[in-house]
Structure 1
């Protein structure tokens, strides 16, 4: 109502926020964009390196592969949790809420080191399996892509639940009753009616997870142990551990553009108000 009745007042109301965002994000972004075209010399050399450098290409391929696998697995797990949260018994709903909300109270760094304690060669899982005689040698569960995927899934599943749960709550129960009345089995109703009608939530959830996963740094750095470097970690290495600021800036800009396109696709399928359920 404020924007419709008094657009100038609405603009003034939003001005401090826009100013803060401009100072915090806009100016640094312009600086990084300038680096990508001027360091070490002016031109498009750094962007050409993105297309020709085998190391950079391998990191991008690994990043997209890990993000795709994490997205598929996280959305599948989130769908099951959301189904219980929306359509389960009161006890099941309460348990699902704890599973969704409690992880938000734990920092990403604490979660990553917790998985190291569980998955390392001397961790709880390998120690227990060897103590019962199931293994003679510890399994390699960290310092590889498996550990990275597990840690990222653990962080992202709660975020994936909300769009799916929102779509499930918006579903018209009369459609399910009509399908039931026409003799469809529960399995047929689920796969032919329920899942298609919640597809907007699945798409929105997948885009959210994929966008978040693209920028992950702490979890891959700790659980990957330098052996499963992703794009965000590569930017850190180029900026802080080698004098290749131009390439690091070009990688950052490319990543921002990709995330921007995916975010636009996200808003195409899911309104921001639906992300919180």
Structure 2
């Protein structure tokens, strides 16, 4: 057997499974988008022209960008402590990063609901302390959705950032210090640019995850801050409008695929940045 064909033989079962589990269902969704309720591209026209759908798209984009910015910033600080802190700090930071993976996303969403709801722990404490007369609206809006999504996304953003930080050549930092640069200048002008690939990877990873998020926005948004994934669910199971839901799904899939292609290009070993 030719040596070039051996990897393909080993990958054949996995590729076959992926084709059956993902490619065929996606082709079925594409078919629905151009055939239901009648053949044509009217579903795509509705998805790109309907004010309601466009408002959901813009809300999703706005929330995803905000979640990405805050999550990557917090993850950068955590990764910095994890990579360059003392042994005790590294151990505590690692626990803070890993423990959220042991708790399901559904449990975390209901935990935030218990904290932020009108009769939740935070509002009860503030009211009992006399700081509030009426409870703050912290859920069933974009604030609650953003908080819950950030809590979920931060640990995922830490790993590409930590990987990039571990690849920084310590000699470059020492050389910058030896030439008289302050610690702040070394950090902003040397360390941060050298970890830019990790920043880009973490940002794209968080943004792609956030685009398709469903459980947390559905619970903490309470139907008042609908995002794209929840809109697809509503169009399939409540409206129902399967053709429009399929068209929105295809648009979302194409957007995610483009972002993943950008991510793979950015993280390609030996690739240019």
Shorter-chain TM-score range: over 0.9
Task: Kindly state the Cα deviation for residue 271 of structure 1 after the two structures are TM-superposed.
Answer: 4.0
Q: Tell me the secondary structure at the aligned position of residue 138 of structure 1.
A: coil
8 A contact 2:161–2:199 mirrored in 1: yes
Question: Structure 2 matches for 1:65-76, cutoff 5 A?
Answer: 65-76=62-73
TM-score by length of 2: 0.96
Which residue pairs with 1:240 in the alignment? Answer: 237
Question: Displacement of 1:12 after TM fit?
Answer: 2.1
2:52 match:
55
Q: Which stretch shows the higher mean deviation, 10-19 or 232-241?
A: 10-19
SS at match of 1:226: coil
Deviation at 1:9, TM superposition (A): 2.9
Aligned pair partner of 1:204 in 186, 201, 205: 201
Root-mean-square deviation (CA, aligned residues, Å) is: 1.2
Q: Does 1:110 align with 2:107?
A: yes
The Cα of 1:254 is off from its aligned counterpart by 0.3
Match of 1:182 in 2: 179
In 2, distance between residues paired with 1:51 and 1:16?
38
Q: Contact 2:234–2:240 (CA<8 Å) still a contact in 1?
A: no
Q: Aligned partners of 1:26 and 1:82: how far apart in 2?
A: 36
Contact 2:117–2:123 (Cα < 8 Å) also in 1: yes
Distance 2:95 2:76 in 1: 16
Which position in structure 1 is the counterpart of 2:80? Answer: 83
Cα distance in 2, alignment partners of residues 194 and 160 from structure 1 = 18
Out of 251, 254, 258, the position equivalent to 1:254 is 251
Q: 1:222 aligns with which of 219, 222, 233?
A: 219
Q: For 1:211 and 1:66, locate their aligned partners in 2 and report how far apart those are by CA, in whole Å.
A: 12
Tell me the CA shift for residue 44 of structure 1.
0.6
> Residues of 2 paired with 1:14 and 1:197: CA distance?
35
CA distance in 2, matches of 1:175, 1:7: 40
Segment drifting more, 15-24 vs 82-91? 15-24
Structure 2 CA distance for aligned equivalents of residues 71 and 241 of structure 1: 30
Residue 122 of structure 1: SS of its match in structure 2? coil
Structure 1, unaligned runs of 5 or more? 273-277
Q: CA deviation at 1:199?
A: 0.6
Within 5 Å, give how 1:3-82 maps onto structure 2.
6-82=3-79
Deviation at 1:40?
A: 0.8
User: Quick one: distance in 2 between partners of 1:148 and 1:174?
Assistant: 43
Select the residue among 117, 133, 136 that pairs with 1:136.
133
Q: Offset of 1:70 from its aligned partner?
A: 0.1
Higher mean Cα deviation, 229-238 or 123-132? 123-132
Choose which of 257, 261, 265 in structure 1 pairs with 2:262.
265
- Number of residue pairs the alignment of both structures matches: 269
TM-score, scaled to structure 1: 0.95
Please show how residues 160-175 of structure 1 align to structure 2 within 5 Å.
Answer: 160-175=157-172
Counterpart secondary structure, 2:131: coil
Shift of 1:210: 0.1
Using the TM superposition, give the Cα deviation of residue 134 of structure 1 relative to its aligned residue in structure 2, in angstroms: 1.4
SS at match of 2:118: coil
